[in-house]
Structure 1
Amino acid sequence: MDLLHFAYKLLFGHVKISMEIVPPIFRNCSSIFIPNKDEKYANCTIEAGIDPCYLLRELHRAKEFRTYFLAIIPIILSIIACSLNICYLLAQIKCFRQEKASFKKRQIFLISRSLSIILANILFYVVIIVWKSSGFNYPSAMIFIFIGGINFVSVTGTYIGLTILLYTAIAHQFWYKTKLTLKHCYIIVAVIWIISFISSFCVAFWGATLFYPETAPISCSFEGCQRPLVIIIVISLSIFYGTVIILYVLMMLRLRRLVRKSSLVRARSKSNSMTALKRLGLNMVTFAIGSVPILIVCIVALVNLEDLSSLGEGDKSPCKSFINSALFVEVEVLASVAAIVWILAMIIDPVINILSDAKLRTLIVLQFTSVSSSLRRFRTGSVKSTLSTDD
Structure 2
Amino acid sequence: MEKLLHFAVHFLFGDGTMSGEPVPLIFLNCSSIFIFGKDEKYAACPIENGTDPCYLLREVHRAKEFRTYFLAILPIILSVIACILNFGYLIAQLKCFSQEKTSFKKRQVFLISRSLSIILANLLFYVVVIVWKANGFMYTSAMIFILIGGINFLSVTGTYIGLTILLYTAIAHQFWYMTKLTLTHCWLIIGLIWILSTASSVCIGLWGATLFYPESAPISCSFEKCQQPLAIIIVVGLSICYGTVIGLYIAMMARLHRLVRKSSLVQSRSKSNSMTAMKRLGLNMITFAVGSVPILVVCIVALANLRELSSLGEGCKSPCKTFLHSSLFVEVEILASVAAIVWIIAMIIDPVINILADKKLRGLFSKQITRVSQRLRRASTKSTISTDDQ
TM-score normalised over the length of structure 1: 0.91
Specify the alignment match of 2:321 in structure 1: 320
Task: Give the deviation of 1:230 after TM superposition.
Answer: 0.4
Distance in structure 1 (CA, Å) of the matches to 2:30 and 2:219: 43
Please name the residue that 2:16 is paired with: 18
Alignment of 1:319-358 (within 5 A): 319-358=320-359
In the TM superposition, residue 370 of structure 1 has moved relative to its aligned partner by: 3.7
Q: Aligned runs of 1:158-173 on 2, under 5 Å?
A: 158-173=159-174
Report what 2:100 is aligned to: 99
Q: Distance in 1 between matches of 2:367 and 2:261?
A: 36
Change (3 A) 1:386 1:299: closer
Contact 1:252–1:281 (CA under 8 A) maintained in structure 2? no
C-alpha deviations, 1:315-362, integer Å up to 9, x for none?
Answer: 001110000000000000000000000000110111011111111112
Q: Name the CA shift for 1:35/1:282 in 2 (closer, same or farther; >3 Å).
A: same
Structure 1 unaligned spans of 5+:
1-14
> 1:272 and 1:42, CA in 2 relative to 1: closer, same or farther beyond 3 A?
same
Check whether the contact 1:88–1:350 (CA below 8 A) recurs between aligned residues. Answer: yes
Partner of 1:255: 256
CA shift at 1:372, angstroms? 4.0
Q: In the alignment, is residue 58 of structure 1 matched against residue 59 of structure 2?
A: yes
What is the root-mean-square deviation in Å for CA atoms of aligned residues?
2.0
* Structure 2 equivalent of residue 196 of structure 1: 197
Q: How does 1:116-127 map to 2 (within 5 A)?
A: 116-127=117-128
Q: How does 1:213-362 map to 2 (within 5 A)?
A: 213-263=214-264, 265-266=266-267, 268-269=269-270, 271-362=272-363
Which residue identity lines up with residue 135 of structure 1 in the other structure? Answer: G
CA contact (8 A) 2:56 2:327 kept: yes
How far apart, CA to CA, are the structure 1 residues paired with 2:65 and 2:376? 41
Deviation string, structure 1 residues 206-237 (Cα, Å, up to 9, x no partner): 11111111111121111111011101111111
Q: Which moved more, 1:191-200 or 1:15-24?
A: 15-24
Q: State the distance in 1 between where 2:358 and 2:304 align.
A: 42
Contact kept in structure 2, 1:255 and 1:277, CA below 8 Å: no
Q: CA deviation at 1:267?
A: 6.5
Give me the whole-angstrom Cα distance separating, in 1, the residues matched to 2:289 and 2:274.
Answer: 23
Instruction: Give me the TM-score of the superposition, normalised by structure 2.
Output: 0.91
C-alpha contact 1:120 1:151 (8 A) present in aligned 2: yes
- Alpha-carbon distance in structure 2 between the residues aligned to 1:386 and 1:23: 57
> 1:68-116 deviations in whole A, cap 9, x for unaligned?
0000000000000011111011111111111111110111111111111
> 2-side partners of 1:371 and 1:121: how far apart?
22
**Aligned-partner Cα distance in 2 for 1:227–1:200:** 18
Q: Tell me by how many angstroms 1:244 deviates.
A: 1.2
Partners of 2:188 and 2:265 lie apart in 1 by 35
Bigger shift: residues 193-202 or 366-375: 366-375
| Corresponding position of 2:186 | 185
CA distance in 1 between partners of 2:387 and 2:204 (Å): 60
Residue 32 of structure 2 corresponds to residue 31 of structure 1: yes
Shift of 1:386: 8.4
Q: How many residues align?
A: 375
Question: How many Å separate the matches in 2 of 1:79 and 1:36?
Answer: 34
Paired residue type of 1:166:
L
Counterpart residue identity of residue 227, structure 1: Q
> Cα distance, 1:257 vs. partner?
2.8
Q: For 2:358 and 2:339, locate their aligned partners in 1 and report how far apart those are by CA, in whole Å.
A: 29
Aligned partner letter, 2:331: E
2:252 aligned counterpart, secondary structure: helix
Kept in 1, the 8 Å contact 2:146–2:204? The answer is yes
Question: Which residue number in structure 2 is paired with residue 110 of structure 1?
Answer: 111
The 2-side partners of 1:373 and 1:29 are apart by 56
What residue in structure 1 maps to residue 9 of structure 2? none
Take 2:119 and 2:228, find their aligned partners in 1: how far apart are those partners? 33
